[in-house]
Structure 1
């Protein structure tokens, strides 16, 4: 991960995953709100989606692990060099460990969707665990570096800890779309901040190098983090508006008799909930 590409890869993973989780969370909420009984809002569909999602997460984790181990100068699965008497690329092993725990999140998604005896909340607990492990790793990741390098990673650690705590709250409080979207907003923030770290520490070819000892750069990056967070809310808002519009337009496409039938079903379900 000690390169621009090394930071862009996890940043892309987190951002794509955050966008996908936003789509899924809002779609679940919209279908539940309108109490649709179509296949679009069925539990069977979401179970299949969770299985596919778990497989993709495992593939992402494997890609990151293999990339960290077998890039040029990587450890190539060697942890200790007995001839030289020293550890081999421990920073690469840090990143590999991080990817491994996120791979476990994918495994938990698959197991929770295929084995009925496993609680569905296990996936949230596994996600919280992976995030807190990631925070622990990055907290111990920058010893002996320049002040700006340490600062951008400290901000990342703060974001990861908050995300992990929110994921743990989801484990305790289920089916809360506001809490879920709040956690996703920090996932998006984490993804974009990985990209920002790449631009700060490893500017792409032709880009000016940042002064890693300039205090004003620290002040700017403090503001920059807030801008990143605001942008994550804009992305969530756009996706939310699009999905709600899509579900409502699908409802309006039914003929009047079908709409009346759906309204009757909704009234019956509401009366049952009140009882």
Structure 2
């Protein structure tokens, strides 16, 4: 099933990375549109370059800490039962596999930047990032935990957003100079983070629809119309998030263009 904290923690990581990706993509484009390049990660300026790789540290360390929670804390170190994987914690093992992929993404990107042993172009990092999102997609699509009813509906929207992250990240490898592709990738990651938050507050927090309640680790809706109403509310919530993100992106682009805009930008428009 899951928990409030179990959705807020990954939601925070995706949201922070997604918002930073959007802003960095816009600033890089308006500053020098002719030499724009799609990037999987974006350096943090200032402080004499000391924070340059902060995003990669957030991804690697955040994924590692969440991995430890899923694999060590949630399972209480009871990995095996009668010589096989503990069936009570299969979802924790699955989450650990997904988090391992994001940890590898951050670690490989750091190695590529800081050492001479691994030197990968952004296109290759795009493919690695797409592999991490694919692992997440497969986890949620073939989850051992049965998602039904209202929970399944929120889960379906999340799967679609992860699929969008895969497509935009893959497109970055084949269209390495496309600003719309890079921006779309940041938007997809941001929406995924926001939907994790929305799921947490709806299914495990104060926004549970009338007629539905959490009981025995499942969402029960009575009468049946309450579940349909909950799904319609979910549609409205998702539409509101998309509208809010698009409005924020348009406003941020205008601000970035006015502050960092290159003279070539107007002629290109």
Q: TM-score, normalised by structure 2?
A: 0.78
Checking the alignment, whether the CA contact within 8 Å between 2:7 and 2:199 is kept in structure 1 is yes
Superposed displacement of residue 144, structure 1 = 3.5
Superposed displacement of residue 70, structure 1 = 4.0
CA spacing shift, 1:245–1:201, aligned 2, 3 Å = same
Match of 1:101 in 2: 101
User: Deviations 1:19-50 (Å, cap 9, x if unpaired)?
Assistant: 11112211211221388xxxxxxx99799866
1:152-171 matches, within 5 Å, as 152-171=154-173
Match of 2:254 in 1: 241
Distance in 2 (CA, whole Å) between partners of 1:49 and 1:27 is 18
Superposed displacement of residue 64, structure 1 = 1.1
Aligned to 2:212, the other structure's residue is in SS state coil
Match of 2:178 in 1: 176
Unpaired segments ≥5 residues, structure 1: 36-42, 252-262, 271-275
Paired positions, count: 243
Distance in 2 (CA, whole Å) between partners of 1:131 and 1:203 is 27
Aligned to 1:89, the other structure's residue is in SS state helix
Question: Structure 1 residues 142-151 or 176-185, which shifts more?
Answer: 142-151
Distance in 2 (CA, whole Å) between partners of 1:44 and 1:14 is 17
Distance in 2 (CA, whole Å) between partners of 1:139 and 1:84 is 23
Distance in 1 (CA, whole Å) between partners of 2:176 and 2:151 is 37
User: Are 2:237 and 1:224 equivalent residues in the alignment?
Assistant: yes
Aligned to 1:141, the other structure's residue is in SS state coil
Superposed displacement of residue 205, structure 1 = 10
User: Are 2:151 and 1:149 equivalent residues in the alignment?
Assistant: yes
User: Deviations 1:246-267 (Å, cap 9, x if unpaired)?
Assistant: 325xx8xxxxxxxxxxx8xx8x
Distance in 1 (CA, whole Å) between partners of 2:56 and 2:185 is 18
Match of 1:92 in 2: 92
CA spacing shift, 1:165–1:77, aligned 2, 3 Å = farther
Distance in 2 (CA, whole Å) between partners of 1:206 and 1:233 is 26
Match of 1:32 in 2: 32
Distance in 2 (CA, whole Å) between partners of 1:229 and 1:154 is 16
Aligned to 1:121, the other structure's residue is in SS state helix
**Relative contact order higher in (CA < 8 Å, ≥ 6 apart):** 2
Match of 1:136 in 2: 138
Match of 2:126 in 1: 124
Distance in 2 (CA, whole Å) between partners of 1:237 and 1:63 is 34
CA spacing shift, 1:173–1:153, aligned 2, 3 Å = same
Superposed displacement of residue 209, structure 1 = 7.5
Aligned to 1:184, the other structure's residue is in SS state helix
Q: What is the RMSD computed on CA atoms of the aligned residues?
A: 3.3
